[in-house]
């Protein structure tokens, strides 16, 4: 009996319905297992931002913009425009980006550009939020939303055009051509040593490919200290907490290998993790965590970040255990060339599980079965591990019980009876065979690269696994094993699979679009191939939208024929043949047939796509502060969960690539030469006495040549305004280079994210902070609004390190004539500054307080109304009468400054 919340509808929008799943048996787990689930779940959710950024370079900024408006907008929230904006945000959350999670096409906004800009202005003026979204950067985001020609597809994997240019997924820097990327990795594989080639790394799996100014390609590796480092550090912290609750030493070693992989980014460590994870088949609680599936990469190499935490379903796992025990028999009897068979399948294991947490690329939409690892050589030598997710499968079943979908497309009474009788058994068994044996079957010929099929790999690999499952669904051996009741059951699987591949999956495609997603292409490939061959034999026919199968037995040889060919293509690395097969059967959609399908489907009023909200796990503490239990709550709404995740699991900045490239730039040869020449000039003019004097005052640098500011200014004047040079020398721990970098940074190239990164890296050095405000931010028209944004962002989300710089920038801007026009912003800024200065516990003023005090004095000079308000304020009176010498000093300083201007 399922929990009443299981399979329940939470909300519906666009073409999506959100369901709820529950975790059967969670309450009965011992506390150690519950805590293991909890910490693994925290590690899963901590990677959420990575998936957003991988799906598109602007995804995190757009999420921040739209979430901010959704939270703070005070206008009419029931208007058509606002409801359309809400739907757009809900879709962005669902897809971790602005492209459809299946079709890959960009969402079409049903609100106007003018509404969005007006809503943003209202939030900025009335709530003092989202002040960073202005000028060129705001225009860039608005163009991305409203211009259909910008980033129209997240992933394109077929066609004559350059696949990288046609795709907007954030795995390759703009401008890198497909041929360049393919050559880069082809050469990288060729350069592997003999030892490395024996256990080849999955090159490109955990990196973004970028290029220097002069076109040299290099990888930005996902690791702690590298790209996505802050998220991976957080993930690793939770994984370390989970170590205390591992069920076995093998499981502990698996997590330690994963931690080493996240620390170093080395793919050999990832291989170690995969090997240990595959071998660890005993635990009740298990997990997936990492850069895994490559479907989103147009070249099929780079892994999307995803995670699942799941609990073994003991009774149902007996079914998959039977299949795994027979792996050798299935492989030996596969209808493929004996050269392509595995001689003795090793380490094949499979379980039926209940998922406890979904994250990254597996959330909110999730697969119902998974087989890992992906590396063929690990599968061949060490085996694979499969899971069938029972509670997700059952939630789907409950939600679709009365949808009417089957009846809308199946009118034959005998076929309806067949499906009703057998489909509950055959659907799960097909998933088991696909994951447990299909993906683990077959082998590559010696010397064939696992990347040989390129962009066609994912579709053909899914087709191979499905064909393997379909072929054996009709085998008497399954009846002998007790997995099917009789020789009629397979027919339900065949009918449903072909109906889906030919007709019903097309309800998920928009008119005028073609098939893009690998699983949809694989199903179309198989169904259309079988239809073509079967019609010629008179075994089946498609009459309009009515599929009729006249001879089920005749279909199995056709499936065997296609399986043999797909296996040959993979084993030999025959990309031309693979491409021909995919392009012929798996891409195009007949527009007339599609229109008829959509018209019939629309009458049902059901959502073609479904996803899930996660349970909310809560630690329970006893009177002594110890953890006494972990509770799973099933009451959180969709928007409620997404906003909470934004608050609790924002582990990356809004432009992680921009921040990373500023902190760890990869210079061109010309930039390196110029920087080397500049450093030589600094060394020639160094003054050790000045440098020593600065060190004695607490101004520490890795290198300080002791040049005066006048000398630095003269050197800077000889240099061009050059963003690449500025970024490189700013990354060096050399005092003079950092100051010169500020002076030569072209303001038009400076983004909010880069400004924030520079501020965070200089916050502890008052000299650099002050020079940054003067040399760089004085030149940028958006700087005062960025400073306000740093200060007025809610405390749980803001960077405290940026506040001294923010107040310093505003002090200088007020002196230069800047004025805040919004009364709400004025009120919030004043309240924030007064609160910071009202701490009576501090024995001496902090740098932050001094910066806030300076800002108030400069603001008061230029603003008579503020000056009058401050002089009459309760805060100033309270400070003057305080027992704290620091507070009295603030009062005296502020009064002296402001009264002289009254």
- When pLDDT is cut at 50, 70 and 90, the band that residue 3 belongs to is confident
Model pLDDT, residue 454: 87
Average pLDDT of the segment spanning 206-226: 97
Model pLDDT, residue 842: 83
DSSP string, 286-321: EEEEEE---TTSTTS-SPPEEEEEEEE-TTTHHHHH
Average pLDDT, the chain: 94
Average pLDDT of the segment spanning 137-145: 97
For the cut 70, the answer to whether the pLDDT of residue 693 exceeds it is no
As to burial, measured by CB atoms within 10 angstroms (0-12 exposed, 13-18 middle, 19+ buried), residue 436 is: buried
Average pLDDT of the segment spanning 545-565: 97
For the cut 70, the answer to whether the pLDDT of residue 284 exceeds it is yes
Contact yes or no for 52/32 (Cβ under 8 A):
no
**Sequence-distant (≥ 6) Cβ neighbours of residue 194 within 8 angstroms:** none
**Sequence-distant (≥ 6) Cβ neighbours of residue 373 within 8 angstroms:** 274, 277, 278, 379, 384
Model pLDDT, residue 901: 75
Average pLDDT of the segment spanning 721-738: 95
For the cut 90, the answer to whether the pLDDT of residue 695 exceeds it is no
Model pLDDT, residue 350: 85
Contact yes or no for 5/23 (Cβ under 8 A):
no
pLDDT in tens, 67-82: 999 999 999 999 999 9
For the cut 80, the answer to whether the pLDDT of residue 654 exceeds it is yes
For the cut 70, the answer to whether the pLDDT of residue 233 exceeds it is yes
Model pLDDT, residue 371: 86
For the cut 80, the answer to whether the pLDDT of residue 1 exceeds it is no
Contact yes or no for 158/583 (Cβ under 8 A):
yes
- When pLDDT is cut at 50, 70 and 90, the band that residue 866 belongs to is very high
Average pLDDT of the segment spanning 691-710: 76
Q: What percent of the chain has pLDDT over 70?
A: 98
Model pLDDT, residue 685: 84
For the cut 90, the answer to whether the pLDDT of residue 848 exceeds it is yes
- When pLDDT is cut at 50, 70 and 90, the band that residue 434 belongs to is very high
Q: What is the 3-state secondary structure (H, E, C) of 703-737?
A: ECCCCCHHHHHHHHHCCCCCHHHHHHHHCCCEHHH
Model pLDDT, residue 498: 97
Residue 774's nearest CA partner among 698, 693, 712 is: 712
Residue 851's nearest CA partner among 901, 902, 791, 796 is: 791
Model pLDDT, residue 722: 95
Radius of gyration (Cα) for the chain, nearest Å?
31
**Sequence-distant (≥ 6) Cβ neighbours of residue 510 within 8 angstroms:** 103, 105
Residue 542 — φ and ψ, nearest 5°? -120, 105
Provide the β-strand partners of residue 609.
16
- When pLDDT is cut at 50, 70 and 90, the band that residue 616 belongs to is very high
Tokens of 394: 């059952």
Write 593-599 long-range contacts (CB < 8 A, 24+).
593/506, 593/545, 594/506, 594/509, 594/511, 595/511, 596/544, 596/545, 597/503, 597/504, 597/506, 597/507, 597/545, 598/506, 598/507, 598/511
For the cut 80, the answer to whether the pLDDT of residue 696 exceeds it is no
pLDDT in tens, 390-417: 999 999 989 888 788 899 999 899 999 9
Contact yes or no for 379/437 (Cβ under 8 A):
no
For the cut 90, the answer to whether the pLDDT of residue 902 exceeds it is no
- When pLDDT is cut at 50, 70 and 90, the band that residue 343 belongs to is confident
The pTM assigned to this predicted structure is 0.91
For the cut 90, the answer to whether the pLDDT of residue 549 exceeds it is yes
Contact yes or no for 188/209 (Cβ under 8 A):
no
Contact yes or no for 346/458 (Cβ under 8 A):
no
Lowest mean pLDDT among 355-364, 488-497, 881-890: 881-890
Residue 131's nearest CA partner among 888, 731, 790, 630 is: 790
Cα(246)–Cα(557) distance, integer angstroms: 47
For the cut 90, the answer to whether the pLDDT of residue 455 exceeds it is no
- When pLDDT is cut at 50, 70 and 90, the band that residue 365 belongs to is very high
Model pLDDT, residue 348: 82
Tokens of 635: 């009451």
pLDDT in tens, 774-829: 999 999 999 999 999 999 999 888 899 999 999 999 999 999 999 999 999 999 99
Cα(585)–Cα(578) distance, integer angstroms: 11
For the cut 70, the answer to whether the pLDDT of residue 595 exceeds it is yes
For the cut 70, the answer to whether the pLDDT of residue 7 exceeds it is yes
Model pLDDT, residue 698: 63
Tokens 């060129």 sit on residue: 136
As to burial, measured by CB atoms within 10 angstroms (0-12 exposed, 13-18 middle, 19+ buried), residue 759 is: buried
Cα(71)–Cα(640) distance, integer angstroms: 11
Tokens of 804: 């001294």
């Amino acid at each position: 009996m399922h929990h009443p919340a299981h399979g329940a509808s939470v909300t519906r929008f666009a073409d999506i319905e959100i369901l709820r799943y529950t975790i059967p048996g969670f309450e009965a787990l011992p506390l150690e297992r519950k805590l293991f689930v909890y910490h693994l779940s925290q590690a899963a959710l901590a990677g959420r931002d990575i998936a957003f950024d991988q799906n598109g370079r602007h995804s995190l900024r757009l999420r921040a913009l739209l979430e901010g408006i959704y939270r703070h907008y005070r206008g009419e929230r029931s208007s058509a425009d606002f409801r359309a904006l809400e739907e757009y945000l809900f879709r962005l959350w669902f897809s971790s980006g602005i492209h459809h999670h299946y079709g890959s096409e960009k969402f079409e906004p049903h609100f106007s550009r003018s509404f969005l800009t007006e809503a943003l202005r209202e939030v900025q003026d009335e709530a003092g939020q989202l002040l960073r979204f202005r000028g060129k950067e705001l225009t860039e985001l608005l163009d991305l939303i409203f211009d259909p020609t910008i980033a129209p597809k997240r992933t394109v994997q077929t066609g004559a055009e350059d696949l990288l240019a046609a795709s907007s997924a954030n795995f390759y820097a703009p401008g890198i051509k497909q041929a360049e990327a393919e050559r880069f990795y082809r050469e990288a594989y060729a350069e592997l040593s003999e030892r490395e080639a024996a256990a080849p790394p999955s090159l490109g799996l955990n990196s973004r490919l970028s290029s220097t100014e002069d076109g040299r390609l290099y990888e930005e590796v996902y690791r702690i200290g590298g790209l996505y480092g802050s998220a991976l550090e957080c993930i690793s912290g939770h994984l370390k907490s989970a170590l205390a609750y591992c069920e076995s030493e093998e499981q502990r070693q698996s997590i330690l290998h994963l931690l080493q992989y996240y620390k170093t980014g080395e793919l050999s460590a990832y291989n170690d993790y995969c090997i240990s994870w595959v071998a660890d088949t005993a635990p009740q609680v298990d997990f997936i965590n990492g850069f895994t599936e490559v479907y989103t990469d147009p070249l099929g190499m780079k892994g999307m970040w995803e995670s699942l935490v799941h609990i073994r379903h003991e009774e149902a796992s007996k079914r998959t255990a039977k299949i795994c025990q027979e792996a050798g028999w299935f492989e030996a009897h596969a209808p493929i060339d004996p050269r392509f068979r595995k001689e003795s399948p090793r380490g094949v294991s499979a379980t039926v599980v209940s998922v406890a947490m979904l994250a990254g690329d597996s959330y909110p939409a999730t697969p119902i079965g998974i087989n890992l690892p992906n590396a063929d050589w690990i599968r061949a030598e060490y085996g694979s591990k499969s899971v069938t997710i029972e509670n997700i499968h059952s939630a789907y079943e409950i939600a679709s019980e009365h949808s009417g979908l089957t009846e809308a497309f199946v009118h034959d009474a005998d076929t309806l009876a067949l499906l009703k009788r057998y489909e509950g058994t055959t659907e799960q068994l097909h998933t088991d065979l696909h994951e447990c044996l299909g993906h683990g079957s077959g082998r590559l010929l010696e010397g064939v690269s696992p990347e040989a099929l390129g962009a066609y790999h994912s579709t053909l690999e899914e087709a191979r696994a499905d064909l393997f499952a379909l072929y054996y669904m009709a085998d008497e051996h399954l009846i002998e094993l007790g997995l099917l009741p009789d020789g009629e059951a397979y027919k339900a699987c065949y009918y449903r699979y072909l109906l889906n591949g030919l007709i019903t999956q097309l309800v998920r495609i928009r008119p005028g679009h073609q098939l893009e997603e690998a699983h949809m292409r694989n199903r179309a490939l198989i169904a259309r191939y079988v239809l073509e061959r079967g019609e010629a034999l008179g075994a089946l026919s498609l009459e309009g939208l009515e599929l009729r199968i006249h001879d089920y037995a005749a279909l199995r040889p056709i499936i065997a024929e296609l399986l043999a060919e797909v296996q040959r293509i993979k084993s030999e690395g025959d990309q031309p043949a693979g491409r021909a097969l995919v392009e012929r059967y798996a891409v195009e959609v007949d527009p007339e047939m599609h229109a008829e399908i959509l018209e019939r489907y629309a009458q049902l009023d059901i959502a073609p796509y479904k996803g899930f909200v996660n349970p909310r796990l809560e630690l329970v503490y006893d009177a002594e502060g110890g953890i006494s239990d972990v509770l799973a709550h099933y009451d959180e709404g969709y928007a409620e969960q997404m906003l909470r995740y934004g608050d609790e699991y924002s582990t990356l900045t809004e432009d992680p690539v921009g921040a990373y490239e500023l902190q760890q730039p990869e210079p061109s040869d010309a930039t390196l030469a110029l920087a080397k020449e500049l450093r030589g000039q600094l060394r020639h003019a160094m003054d050790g006495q000045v440098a020593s004097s600065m060190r004695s005052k607490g101004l520490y640098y890795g290198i300080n040549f002791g040049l005066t500011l006048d000398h630095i200014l003269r050197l800077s004047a000889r240099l061009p305004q050059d963003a690449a040079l500025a970024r490189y020398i700013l990354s060096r721990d050399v005092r003079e280079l950092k100051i010169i970098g500020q002076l030569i940074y072209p303001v038009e190239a400076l983004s909010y994210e880069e400004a924030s990164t520079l501020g965070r890296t200089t916050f502890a050095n008052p000299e650099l902070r002050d020079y940054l405000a003067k040399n760089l931010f004085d030149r940028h028209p958006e700087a005062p609004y960025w400073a306000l944004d740093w200060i007025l962002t809610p405390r749980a989300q803001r960077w405290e390190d940026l506040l001294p710089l923010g107040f310093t920038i505003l002090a200088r801007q007020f002196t230069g004539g800047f004025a805040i026009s919004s009364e709400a912003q004025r009120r919030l800024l004043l309240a924030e500054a007064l609160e910071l200065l009202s701490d009576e516990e501090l024995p001496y003023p902090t740098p932050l307080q001094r910066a806030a005090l300076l800002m108030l004095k400069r603001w008061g000079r230029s603003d008579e109304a503020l000056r009058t308000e401050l002089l009459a304020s309760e805060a100033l009176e309270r400070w003057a009468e305080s027992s704290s010498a620091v507070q009295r000093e603030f009062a005296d300083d502020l009064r002296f400054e402001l009264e002289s201007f009254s």
